[in-house]
Amino acid sequence: MFEKFAKRVHDEVYKTFHTYKTTLFLCGAGKATGNSVREQIATHLSSSWFSYQYDMFYPEDLFDELLLGPGHHDLLSLENILADSVDAVVLVIESYGAVAELGAFASNDKLRKKLACVVDAKYKRRKSFIQYGPLRLLRDKKEGEIIYGDFSHVGRMIEPIRSAVSRIRRSTTKTAGVTNVVQAHHFVLPCIFLLEPVTRETLITLVKNASGCDPSTSAVLATGAISILTKKREVVLTASGYKLTQTGLNRFVSLGRRGWTRRTYKMNIMDELRVAVLNWRCRNKKLVI
């Protein structure tokens, strides 16, 4: 029932949402750690000066729901999907969790190439597992980037980090479309706009029809998209399903605009889809698209 609907949303709405931004997966100390280096880097890169250049995502935006939710997805498969979806992984070594992530990411052939590892300069000469293990692997393989900096002056590290990310982006690729786990939310957003309230199962079906992925991968993509939208407070789960918040509606409107007047998709297409949904919902007609 949703095959043609998903295809039209994908081809005539979602694909018009052109994004030129560099996609970063930012790892380090958890959000509970006040004023962490990761948070300071995020603040700098999301400032008005750089905000047009970067889209940043945290591990908790994607992995928590996927690892702990009903699907119980394994970390290895998620790492591979992530490696195909982002331009770079910026990993700040400032906690035990970050050290564990470094070991896992450096061991992954795909993620290692996209890894920008940020290390406190005071540990540069010290003998440690980090230096002789994963960081040596990065050097030996000549993959990824290692940035040493003064953690007490984070502002001085921003340009070296940006340069490292640019080098990684020039030498690697990422997938496009709904199969990209950190871009799939741009497809799910108009689906919720048109169908709200809508269940998770329906969103997974729509992602499957739009992406052509198997059910398991489609569940990962849809769950990651919902998690991102929820963390951004753009959608909310109600008793009847997911709905857009005012923030989500504003985000959808902004994605559909180029400048003040030009729109990325044709308004009559959205009107046709909305009327079809209303006829299906309110008049028990088939969802004819």
Task: Output the domain CATH number for residue 253.
Answer: 1.10.10.10
Helix (H, G, I), strand (E, B) or coil at 152: coil
Q: Judge if 159 and 247 occupy the same domain.
A: no
- Specify the pLDDT at position 75: 59
Q: Judge if 34 and 159 occupy the same domain.
A: yes
Amino acid at 100: A
Q: Judge if 222 and 142 occupy the same domain.
A: no
Q: Judge if 8 and 46 occupy the same domain.
A: no
Q: Judge if 52 and 75 occupy the same domain.
A: yes
In this structure, is residue 239 part of a structural domain?
Answer: yes
Domain that holds residue 114: 20-171
In this structure, is residue 249 part of a structural domain?
Answer: yes
Instruction: Report which of 50, 46, 150 is spatially closest to residue 94, judged by C-alpha positions.
Output: 150
Domain end (from 171, 203, 232): 171
pLDDT in tens, 144-196: 999 999 999 999 999 999 999 999 999 998 887 888 888 899 999 999 999 99
Q: Which positions ≥6 away from 100 have C-beta within 8 Å?
A: none
How many structural domains does the chain have? 2
Domain end (from 151, 171, 191): 171
Q: Judge if 162 and 193 occupy the same domain.
A: no
Supply the pTM of this predicted model. Answer: 0.82
Instruction: Report which of 83, 77, 35 is spatially closest to residue 182, judged by C-alpha positions.
Output: 83
- Is residue 198 over pLDDT 80? yes
